[in-house]
Amino acid sequence: MDMNQYLEVFIEESKEHLQSCNDHLLELEKSPNDMSIINEIFRSAHTLKGMSATMGYEDLAKLTHKMENVLDAIRNQTIAVTPELIDVVFLAVDDLEEMVQSIASGGDGKKDVSNAVEKLKLIEESQSSFVIDAQKEVAVATVEADEEQKTTYDEFERTVIEQSKEQGFSTFEISISLREDCLLKAARVYMVFGVLEELGEIIKSTPPVEQLEEEQFDQNFTITIVTKETSAEIENKVMKVSEVEKVEVLSITLTDSKNEIQSRSLESKAVELEPIENQVVPSEKATINNANQSNNNESKNHSAGKATSKTIRVNIERLDILLNLFEELVIDRGRLEQISSELNNQELQETVDRMSRITGDLQNIILNMRMVPIDTVFNRFPRMVRQIARDLHKKVNLEIIGAETELDRTVIDEIGDPLVHLIRNSCDHGIETPEIRKINGKSEEGTVILKAYHSGNHVFIEIEDDGSGISRDKVLKKALKSGIVNEETAATLSDKQVYELIFASGFSTAESISSLSGRGVGLDVVKNTIENLGGEVTVDSIEGKGSLFSIQLPLTLSIISVMLVEIQREKYAIPLSSIIETAIIKKDDILHAHNQKVIDFRGKVVPLLFLKDLFEVPIFEEEDEFISVIIIRKGEKMAGLVVDSFIGQQEIVLKSFGSYLNNIFAIPGATILGDGQVALIVDCNVLLK
């Protein structure tokens, strides 16, 4: 069977389930007795097992199966949740992730899982044999309970029953037996249905209606009805149908009966399990409470699930295509607007105006669609921090705030690695070992806060720790040693400037080089990556109290505000983020210093960069007496870009040149203007270097 068409869905869903496993395992470690969490993990693992078995990935199915066994044991209270156990399960999840990754990249998803399987097996075998008896007992109890109530209801039917109860209806289960010599069973069924439909609403029949109609039943069938009539009334009316031998009306209240099953089964289990439970779980009561709780949680989860069903999965490429098509539309809209203003036809003009408004709304929607919550990056960090903490024998609590903050997916794709680095850095160099923390009067557990929020046209991501902070002396000593600063400047630097030194390349202050960080190649890479994204990273710290790394990022990389300028006959776009202001100056005001043309701009000497020379623009007309200058800045550096004229400010869509032309000096990309022409975007940061 060709499974390729399902492969994409399989990979996506597997990833989701694995992520859910990861998240819930972490939660489980914090509250080992919470049954609802175990159930969640179990559900994910179970679905994963089913999916991978269907798709023919045997190793994947095998490992999930083993994992499921262990989870089941935890669920049945036969194994206690310990960090060691969580480690093993995490190991298994890691293997699973690797396999899914391999499948995603076109591999066969095969992997030697014996190590993880063996470990899981060891845990599994540690549960005693009478547990199985207990499980049997549970099964029996459930069956008994089931017999009392002949019909089981699915989620939807339950909802109906519950809702109708709230509205004053009662639900009855009517068991009907026809006479053995009944000839036209289907006809009798039809008549019974007719009678009952007059009395209320039939919500279920066992066997299903289709089978009843085809006479695929013996003498008995059951109908569930929601009605305001009494049970006696129903019984009488149904008995009036000829050839009906017996009618039994049973009133059902769903929640009660369900709980009954639950508690009954748990009771019997609890009794059986008593010997072991004394070691594992405090009391029998707790089990039942947990079970009830899990029930509630399940229904809660269900409603949450319904809410998410309103979303659909769309390939990001399709969104890109959509955006491209939309830009085409915008270009044509521009042309239409021009034509309509020339023709001066009122009707045409009105229509074009309307279209402009609609496309404006459409633009907002399309751009919003490309926004992704930063959670997609953050969600792997709890797991990572746990691992680091265990490796380093530290206690670290990661707090995540603002995971729902949305960013353009182009930024999301790039921001992961720098964040990994900074968080590792905080755990490794920031947070102290529990012993030292205790001596310093801090709680043993260190806290790392990861926080994302919107502010203006930017997104801020902060990584704060309450660790040892940055030592000015150590940083300076190190910087002097590695020749990043000299002694004279070192003395003049402010604390903050000193802290910024840790972003210089070839810098590492960790006294012992660990496997995690401290190779001295980290933070400068982080800084570079973030700057390439058009962002900024800063650090602040109080020695002994902790440090704060703050990353400022543009909301989106694909749409930026620019100043359009003209140089001879060419148009260039200069990002507004780099521009301080524009000025028109007289040619006579240009000064000369060391072969460099400069101007006096508000008391500062600012060098001029002539874009037409820089970009070898073909000259068609001579410049006049006045020149237009755009003052740009990056950090402390400033420069004046000389252009011919300003066209105006505009929001543009950044487009790359594709893979054939890349690494063009100072031109990271281009954009398409309203008239369909391509304008080049100028990277001011490069010009200022």
Choosing from 425, 464, 500, 685, the catalytic residue is 425
Which ranges constitute the DSSP H helices of 200-253?
209-213, 231-239
Residue 454 annotated as catalytic: no
Residue 440 annotated as catalytic: no
Which residue number, 325 or 542, has a Cβ lying nearer to other proteins? 325
CB of 321 to other proteins, least distance (A): 9
The answer to the question of residue 8 lying near other proteins (CB under 8 A) is no
Binder among 136, 417, 656, 686 for other proteins (CB under 8 A): 656
CB of 658 to other proteins, least distance (A): 6
* Tokens standing for residue 127: 């549960």
Binder among 505, 570, 638, 688 for other proteins (CB under 8 A): 570
Stretch that binds other proteins, among 101-109, 151-159, 243-251, 657-665 (CB under 8 A): 657-665
* Tokens standing for residue 19: 């992520």
Which residue number, 384 or 672, has a Cβ lying nearer to other proteins? 672
> 494 by DSSP, 3-state: which?
coil
The label of the residue with tokens 């794709």 reads 413
The answer to the question of residue 581 lying near other proteins (CB under 8 A) is no
The answer to the question of residue 156 lying near other proteins (CB under 8 A) is no
CB of 657 to other proteins, least distance (A): 6
By the 8 A CB rule, do 186 and 212 touch? yes
**Residues forming beta bridges with residue 372, ordered by sequence position:** 407
Binder among 646, 666, 674, 688 for other proteins (CB under 8 A): 666
CB of 506 to other proteins, least distance (A): 28
Stretch that binds other proteins, among 84-92, 161-169, 281-289, 673-681 (CB under 8 A): 673-681
* CA distance linking residue 459 with residue 451, whole number of Å: 10
CB of 655 to other proteins, least distance (A): 5
DSSP designation for 429: I
The answer to the question of residue 672 lying near other proteins (CB under 8 A) is yes
Choosing from 17, 22, 24, 68, the catalytic residue is 68
Stretch that binds other proteins, among 261-269, 301-309, 424-432, 663-671 (CB under 8 A): 663-671
Stretch that binds other proteins, among 258-266, 307-315, 575-583, 678-686 (CB under 8 A): 678-686
Which residue number, 315 or 659, has a Cβ lying nearer to other proteins? 659
The answer to the question of residue 328 lying near other proteins (CB under 8 A) is yes
Site for other proteins, residues 235 to 264, rule: CB under 8 A = none
> 223 by DSSP, 3-state: which?
strand
* CA distance linking residue 243 with residue 183, whole number of Å: 9
Q: Give which of 573, 570, 572, 580 is closest to 651, Cα–Cα.
A: 573
* Tokens standing for residue 537: 């990273």
The answer to the question of residue 680 lying near other proteins (CB under 8 A) is yes
- Per-residue binding string, other proteins, 636-655, x by CB under 8 A, is -------------------x
The answer to the question of residue 480 lying near other proteins (CB under 8 A) is no
The answer to the question of residue 610 lying near other proteins (CB under 8 A) is no
DSSP designation for 485: S
CB of 107 to other proteins, least distance (A): 22
DSSP designation for 602: T
Which residue number, 618 or 648, has a Cβ lying nearer to other proteins? 618
Q: Which helix (H) or strand (E) holds 591?
A: strand 591-593
Stretch that binds other proteins, among 56-64, 484-492, 524-532, 674-682 (CB under 8 A): 674-682
Which ranges constitute the DSSP H helices of 344-471?
346-369, 375-378, 381-392, 409-425, 434-439
604-610 and 637-643 as β-strands: parallel, antiparallel, unpaired?
parallel
* CA distance linking residue 178 with residue 185, whole number of Å: 8
Q: Residues touching other proteins: how many (CB under 8 A)? A: 30
- Per-residue binding string, other proteins, 295-324, x by CB under 8 A, is -----------------------------x
Torsion of CA 269, 274, 277, 281, to 10 degrees: 80
CB of 477 to other proteins, least distance (A): 42
The answer to the question of residue 325 lying near other proteins (CB under 8 A) is yes
* CA distance linking residue 101 with residue 9, whole number of Å: 14
Residues 6+ apart with CB under 8 A from 542: 469
* CA distance linking residue 423 with residue 383, whole number of Å: 12
Site for other proteins, residues 611 to 630, rule: CB under 8 A = 614-618
Binder among 157, 267, 327, 543 for other proteins (CB under 8 A): 327
* CA distance linking residue 551 with residue 422, whole number of Å: 10
Residue 267, Cβ neighbours under 10 Å: how many? 15
Which residue number, 293 or 645, has a Cβ lying nearer to other proteins? 645
Q: Which helix (H) or strand (E) holds 641?
A: strand 637-643
Binder among 5, 364, 595, 659 for other proteins (CB under 8 A): 659
CB of 580 to other proteins, least distance (A): 24
Residue 328 annotated as catalytic: no
* Tokens standing for residue 669: 């990309």
Residue 520, Cβ neighbours under 10 Å: how many? 18
CB of 607 to other proteins, least distance (A): 20
Question: Please, is 3 exposed, middle or buried when counting C-beta atoms within 10 Å of its C-beta (0-12, 13-18, 19+)?
Answer: exposed
By the 8 A CB rule, do 607 and 598 touch? yes
* CA distance linking residue 331 with residue 333, whole number of Å: 5
CB of 332 to other proteins, least distance (A): 11
Choosing from 46, 298, 301, 379, the catalytic residue is 46
Binder among 479, 669, 683, 685 for other proteins (CB under 8 A): 669
**Residues forming beta bridges with residue 68, ordered by sequence position:** none
Phi–psi pair at 288, nearest 5 degrees: -65, -40
Residues forming the active site: 46, 68, 425
* Contacting positions for other proteins (CB under 8 A): 324-325, 327-328, 331, 570, 614-618, 655-661, 664-667, 669-670, 672, 676-680
